[in-house]
Amino acid sequence: MSRDLRVCFVGDSLVAGVGDPRCLGWVGRLAAQAYTDGIPIVGYNLGVRRQTSTDVRARFLAECVQRLPAGTDARIVLSFGVNDTMQLDGQCRVTSDQSVANLGALVRLAAEHGWPVLMVAPPPIDDVEHNARTAALDERFAEICAAEGIPYVRIHHQLRENPVWMREVREGDGAHPGAAGYDELAAAVAPQWREWLSR
């Protein structure tokens, strides 16, 4: 009997793949790569545009429970943070402390249900000040993932130095790349993704 491997990808518009004319985003590319590697998965893209970690936390359990029934090899990929660090009226939409608390709560909820988690860092956009705030949150996310024993894919700084990603974001809407940008993001996540799937 074949392995029933199911993965919920939960997060924001960058998880949803907004801006990709191929409608794959990095999530679709990783799922396709898993098939190429001989590891077929059922992937659920649960990315929602403009959502913060607080929004993700509010819907996480209800959405994942129905897609990850008992008896399956059920897993979670999380990625959020760009919307948390977006400023409205001079304030971040979600404070850094609350973002960290949300991540911790999500990781613990997943553990209670026996769902292994892979966390992907929030990527950079075409805004230097915003990226500085996101980079600071990236550091805190790395700390909590280390403390919880969760693999954390640190793509933020790597993509800030990636000319293809940054060009595509600039040429897009300032936050989302096109197909070539998502190729780069998927390639950055792929090594840890493959290792995590093989466990």
What are the pLDDT digits (tens) for 11-53? 999 999 999 999 999 999 999 999 999 999 999 999 999 999 9
> How far is it, in rounded angstroms, from Cα 92 to Cα 88?
6
pLDDT of residue 3: 85
Q: What angle do CA 107, 137, 26 make, to 5 degrees?
A: 70
CA dist 166 and 163 (Å) reads 5
Counting the structural domains of the chain, the total is 1
| Percentage of the chain exceeding pLDDT 70 | 99
* Inter-axis angle of helices 179-197 and 25-36, nearest 10: 50
Domain range for 65: 5-197
Per-residue model confidence (pLDDT) at position 45 = 98
Average pLDDT over residues 149-172: 98
Q: Does 1 have pLDDT greater than 80? A: no
Q: Taking the model in full, what pTM does it have?
A: 0.97
CA 61/CA 1 separation, integer angstroms? 28
CATH code for position 24: 3.40.50.1110
